[in-house]
Amino acid sequence: MSDERLQTNLLGIAMKTPVLTASGTFGFGEEFKDFVDLSRLGGVMVKGTTLLPRRGNDGVRITETPEGMLNCIGLENPGVEHFLEETLPRIQQYGMNVIVNISGSTAEKYGKLAELLDVPGVAAIELNVSCPNVKEGGIVFGTDPEAAAAVVCEAKAHTKKPVILKLSPNVTDIVAMARAVEAAGADAVSLINTLLGMEIDINRFRPVLGNITGGLSGPCVKPVAVRMVWQVAQAVRIPIIGMGGIASAEDAVEFFLAGASAVAVGTANFTDPEITMKICDGLDTYLAEHGFSSIEEIVGKANPGFLGFRNDVQKG
């Protein structure tokens, strides 16, 4: 199947399709090479990366929930040095756009990571701000507009790569967060990250997860994610990468209609490792059946307050 209708350009990155994979659900991409044409994806948001290696949380890390899952992996990863020396050279053979998700405990650490990753083979940086800021008494970067903006400023000062800010849904006002990071220079936003949740073992009388709480993802969060993309698309002009519970082409279309310029598939990769390819095929069929020649034609089409980004608008 030709992907001509699906071709897009996001942040200067040429993409065969607007379908990406969400960080933490797709490893470094190579784990799915037997199931997916990695070069066909718009990009692979690789496993969250920190300055130093992390072993992650102890105890139970994942539990299934109705229409989703809870996880508290704890950012287990081999560290940025290993990624640059070992992983990046190896995965470049697959011809995919590599977007590196980074996390830190201070704004300065985000800046250092952005600087280290300003290398050939990295298409963009995604800032995971669902982390506590140790300099500010443990407040989570992603719940405070000023703190999130500071992270963006620090990253932008240390890289020429596009910077994407991943918005947390665990806030009162998602629009305030989006506007703050846009004003700070973010090139795009991705949303949503996981919702905070927990599960209790009623026979052992204690929380199931070793970390007590975890991130809720999967189809159960999709209505929240679509609503937040809709709201943010009415407030910012930078591109939006929509994610949260996408498990079919129809799900993806909802995000585009709400105002997303691209989508990322997460939890569904665990239940069907070929799901991204099926979504690409389904999107192409949807566009053909509705008489559209490009994905850009449906971005924000259902959102009367849509302010945001379209490549065709930029060209005009």
pLDDT at position 131 is 74
pLDDT at position 130 is 85
Residue with tokens 């949740």: 197
Is the pLDDT score of 174 beyond 70?
yes
Determine what percent of the chain is predicted with pLDDT higher than 90.
93
Is the pLDDT score of 108 beyond 90?
yes
The 8-class DSSP code of residue 77 comes to: B
Q: Report the largest interatomic distance among the alpha carbons of the chain, rounded to a whole angstrom.
A: 62
Is the pLDDT score of 44 beyond 50?
yes
Q: Over the stretch 127-143, which tens digit does the pLDDT of each residue have?
A: 999 876 666 666 789 99
d(CA 69, CA 62): 7
Q: Find the mean pLDDT for residues 205-229.
A: 97
Q: Find the mean pLDDT for residues 192-205.
A: 96
131 is catalytic: yes
Is the pLDDT score of 313 beyond 50?
no
Q: Over the stretch 53-103, which tens digit does the pLDDT of each residue have?
A: 999 999 999 999 999 999 999 999 999 999 999 999 999 999 999 999 999
d(CA 289, CA 268): 25
Which of 131, 153, 220, 280 is flagged as catalytic?
A: 131
Cis status of the peptide bond prior to 192, with omega within 30 of 0:
yes
pLDDT at position 310 is 59
Q: Find the mean pLDDT for residues 202-219.
A: 96
Determine what percent of the chain is predicted with pLDDT higher than 70.
95
Please, what is the average pLDDT of the chain? 94
d(CA 182, CA 236): 7
pLDDT at position 17 is 98
Q: What burial letters (b/e) apply to 253-282, b meaning 16+ CB within 10 Å?
A: bbbbbbbbbbbbbbbbbeeeeebbbbbbeb
Among residues 162, 165, 204, 194, the alpha carbon closest in space to that of 182 is found at: 165
Q: Over the stretch 260-289, which tens digit does the pLDDT of each residue have?
A: 999 999 999 999 999 999 999 999 999 999
Residues in the chain: 316
The 8-class DSSP code of residue 184 comes to: T
**What confidence tier does 316 reach under pLDDT thresholds 50, 70, 90?**
very low
